[in-house]
Structure 1
Amino acid sequence: MDDHTIGTAPNYTSACIVMFGVNITWILVAIWAIWGLIAAVLLALGVNHLIARCKVWAAERQAASIRRGKQV
C-alpha cells in the first residue's frame, strides 16, 4: 500500500560554503567598525590558521585510521 520511495538528500555543501563566506564577511566588517582594522586582520589570520590546522588534524586522523586498518 505504501508506494512512497525514499529519495536522496540534496547536497547543501556549496550553500554551506557560500553562507560561511557571507557570515565571516559581516562579522569581520562589524569587528572592523567596532575595534578597527588591526583586530579584524588578526581575527582573519587566526581563522585562517585554525582552518589550516584542521586540515593537518584530519590528515593525522586519516593516517592513524589507515594504520589501524580502517578506511576513513
Structure 2
Amino acid sequence: MENRHPKRVEDYTLANLILIFVNLMWIFTAVWSTWGLGPVLILAAILNHLITRLDLHKRRKAPGFDKTEQI
C-alpha cells in the first residue's frame, strides 16, 4: 500500500460567496415584490446583526483573546 499525500484542494471561497450573493438577491427580490421594501430592510438589518454577533463569538473563542480587553 502506497502512502500518498493528498493533493492541494482548489479554493472555492469566491464561488461560494457569489452563490450566497445570488441567493440573497433573489430572496430579497421575492420578499420585496410580495411585501414591499420595509421587510427587506428589516431582514437585512437582522442578518447584519447576526453576522456581527457570529464574528464577535468567533473572536472570543480564538486563542489569545484577552477577556479584559474591549472589542
Question: TM-score by structure 2 length?
Answer: 0.77
| Runs of 4+ off more than 6 Å | none
Q: How many residues align?
A: 64
Which residue of the partner structure matches residue 46 of structure 1? 46
Greater fraction of residues in helix: 1
Structure 1 unmatched ranges of 5 or more: 68-72
Higher relative contact order (Cα pairs below 8 Å, separated by 6+ residues): 1
Letter in 2 for 1:26: W
Mark the runs of 5 or more structure 2 residues left unpaired by the alignment.
66-71
Q: Which residue of 2 aligns with 1:32?
A: 32
TM normalised by structure 1 equals 0.76
Question: Identity of aligned pairs, percent?
Answer: 30
1:6 positional shift: 3.9
